[in-house]
Structure 1
Amino acid sequence: GISQELYRLALHLLEMERSLKSPEPIGRRLDFLTQELNREANTLGSKSQDAEMTRCSVDIKVLIEQIKEQVQNVE
């Protein structure tokens, strides 16, 4: 199933949110978390068994790319 990947995606997003509230420099941390999000999205895509799941996986990857672009502007 995909429950582990969805769980880890949620954890990484929560960690990103927590990091964004930190007064410390977070650029590298966000970069790492973005890589982890991408890894989980790729795993979801590889486990996809129907067109809807594939579409969702691609949508997630597009959003992760948008996050990655924003992370490049964070120290």
Structure 2
Amino acid sequence: MTVEADAREVRIDVVDEGPSSARSRTTPELPGGHGLLGMRERAMMYGGSFEAGPRPEGGFAVSVRLPAEGSR
């Protein structure tokens, strides 16, 4: 995960490189949440952008851009 910010925006990128047999056996089930739809709604509510989807090389990526306070 990377988080970067400047005077104009905050950028958040999360990348999952795909299933790993060792990781998938030891990862506990997490409780439900609002998922990608909730993330998209929150980004839009603050005037930002949201992208999520599978990566060509495998895995999944989520990218959020939010305007910095005062830049909207």
Normalising by structure 2, we get a TM-score of 0.31
Larger Rg: 2
Higher helix share: 1
Higher strand share: 2
